[in-house]
Structure 1
Amino acid sequence: MGDSRQKSASEQGTQCPPIASACQWLSTTTGRIASDGHTWMTSVHWAADPKAKRYTPTRSHGPRGMNATTLLIAQECANLKECRPGIAYLARKLRISERTVEYHLGMLREAGLLVYRTKGGRVAQGRDEASVYERTIPVAFDDAHGIRTTGEGVQRRPVGAADTARKSLGKLARKAARKVRRPRRRTPVSGQSRCTLMEGGSTGAFPAAGSIPPSETKLASGDSSHSTQKKATSRPRTLNRVGRRHQLARELIDNVPWLSRASAPRIAWIARHCADAGWQWQEVQAAAEERGPIDDMDSRRPSGLLAYRLKGVHELYASEKARHLMLTAWEDSRLRERIRHQGWDGPAAAVDLEQQTHTAAAAMDTIRAARQTQALSAADLTGATEHSEGNTDIEALSRAEVLEHRKFAADDPTYVRNLLEALGDRDARRLLTNRLVDKALVLLRLNTTELTPAF
């Protein structure tokens, strides 16, 4: 004969259908607000029953259903006066990851046990505000136990329950009254019994009883080889797009002085286009400082300054060649700035003064010989056409002689000064280039300032 006892709806396997995200708010939910934490925990234990399998999450990743971790998080939410559980707080207290907390809070919302009163987010000061929830009891729980309510909307209150559901409600109430604890690990981490004083791993009374020493043939012979050698299967980890962005952000923070106080996630988001295009941190710094150097004491908000300086640079320097030219120009400007601040320290100290004078005199003799070999008209000798005379003298030099003059000018700034006095500013610049002349003038000025005695 079959069982003649009448079963309650909760014992017959009533399901708790998932609730859409649009109905997970206090204004759109069909459930009712729980009067206290204990009453709410009865509905949580009912929905999280592993044997009944009343709730199945809709997401394809994460936990496959409610478990002991869900009950632990629900227990913490039930003990709060204002249900405002911070994700970092729950992760720190329960010793789980923040992602796990987000998964289980999402399941509680999808089961109709939690609804948003206000959804948290980032405020103007950069802090993350926690969401404020309301503990609710879903309609499926009331239908399963035949609970009668009075009132309207979320303010409904229970006034009775079906007689057949009183036993199951009593079991749920006893479960809710007990404190949920984390289940203990059934097997050790290593998968074997521990060989310690508390657990020797033998069945005898003495910990060493029953242990058989190895034979003499199996003792270590000193050979480094082993029958079951472990193969090195570890390979260098390949970074995906997000990992590359964070790697570039960390390199910028570690190497760029004015970004040392910035947040790595912010820098990773700001430089995401550069990271996706394969930029190096030197190229990002060069693009940011292209408009002018940045003092780390003046950058109050480094991430905002970097975002302003990098706006559109990934489209401006789209090719690798363009980035290389930009980086080279930035390094040259940095070198010139460092020379201006540090002064001339170069080969002038190693070259003898007599050798410098001899080199300059030889160069002047070469130019004078070129002047004598050229037939100049009387008009070219006048003061009005002195410009043209200088051009003719310089054009008479061969390419090898011009390169030799420029080499002397790069090694010795005093050689440039002698040519300026002999040829004039315009001809000397045409012969030696503006870069060499400007560099020599700066170094001579700095060297004179350092050597000037203070009276």
Structure 2
Amino acid sequence: MARAAAAAVLSDPVVPAPESVASEVVLPELWVVEASQWLSSSAGRVALEGYSWMQAVHWVAGSGLYQPRRHRSSGLRSFTKTTIYIAQLLAELTPCRPGIEYLMRRTGLSERAVEYHLAALRETGLLAYISKGTRVRGERAQASEFARMIPPEYDAALGIRTVLRDETAPAYTRAVTGIAETGRKLMAKLGKQAARKVRRPRPKTSSKVSVKASPTGTPEDVDGVAETAVSEGTRCTPMGGGGSTSSSAADTYPPSESKLASGQSESSSRKKSKAKAGGSKTGRRKLNRIGRRYQLGRELTQQVEWLRGCAVPRIAWVAQNVADAGWTVTEVLAWLHLRGTAQRVHRGSGLLAVLLANAENVLDTPAKRADAIAQWRGAQEAQRRHDIERVRTERERYEGDWQDPTSRAVRSKVDSAIAQLKSISRPAVQDLPDDPSDPGAASYEVGEAEFADIRAAARDGLAHGDTSLINDTIHACGPDEALRVYGPELISRARRIDQFRRSSLTTLIYGA
């Protein structure tokens, strides 16, 4: 009861006596502030179905109580016929979660115009937010969910009596218990108006739309609304109000705004889409000149590396000449290969404009463009083979046993040491006698002086962490010969360096 009293204070409606005359009731202006446009703070009651809600919509349209220009300078000037048509579309949705794109498609209006009409329905108390939509970049957009509400001014004008059956329930779950005798005639007229479908209004040459109003808000006061009769269905009059204390908008998973239904079942929409795709040759709309430009611009931003991140409309404008000439994205890529690109690109759209200058006149025939594509594909194949050969050469180099020293000075000393080893070992082996036990044979022994340069080169390499000279000698001449040439100290240092290098827990820092 406390919540109901608080909601009544926000709107300050004038509630008449049970059998008072509707024409004697002085109604306040229809205006709901933004803070009261939510279901939890609304002073109205939830409409149980679309028929009774459309009665309230037509009453608001003819009452003349909605004067938005007294509170703001932009938006609608009054409740228009287009607003009634949008309300009719909302009455078909369950739950009432209208997507902006869906309403734009059904009404032919712009996004801002649709938002203006939805704001008019909220400001008159006919709609209340259940959850507000989100527009987060990188995530799927969610549409706002509304509750169809009946404002308290409507109940006061027609003498409708309501009661809150459950005191613990919210105030917006009030149920109808009766109506004044003087309001039955007006209720019957509103019922006829709600039973007819309002056609989509045609656009006028003038932006000004006038709506006639009367104090009683009869349906005939809305001028020029085209209507057609619809079939009778199950309806709920105010005299037979139900006892439900919950909102008709159930908790559902919020669908995507782009996949909202228009009141029809999912199976019927699937059948229609399949029939259109299979039975009609014109199911897919053919692109016009502007569409081809945007298609080529989108494909270029996806396939050209230095155009990624550029705006598609700008690229479409830059490539408009080749797009109008019928070029495909493959032909544009072939032309860009022939022209060549810069190493550093500061502005992709500007570079594309320079490269595509007079392209449609140079390759003016399909045969020339096909030849350019063949040259581009040949260059791609040659580049692919070159990359394979380069990777193979590097793999063979780094996976082999021998690696050249990084220092040029060390490499020159290694080459000279290997050449000296070859020149020294060969005469020694050739001069050795076949029988070493022969006392007359002269023995050949290499002294320390011959290996001074080799040991200096190996010591210099170890100072820089390079053990390749000692390792190559071990592999070529054996461990014993390497030990005789370099000595145990250098061999031990080389083994420790190799052992530390293989460990992932050790970092070697070499001196100069």
Same fold (TM over 0.5): no
Greater relative CO (CA pairs within 8 A, separation 6+): 2
Per the normalisation by structure 1, the TM-score is 0.40
Per the normalisation by structure 2, the TM-score is 0.36
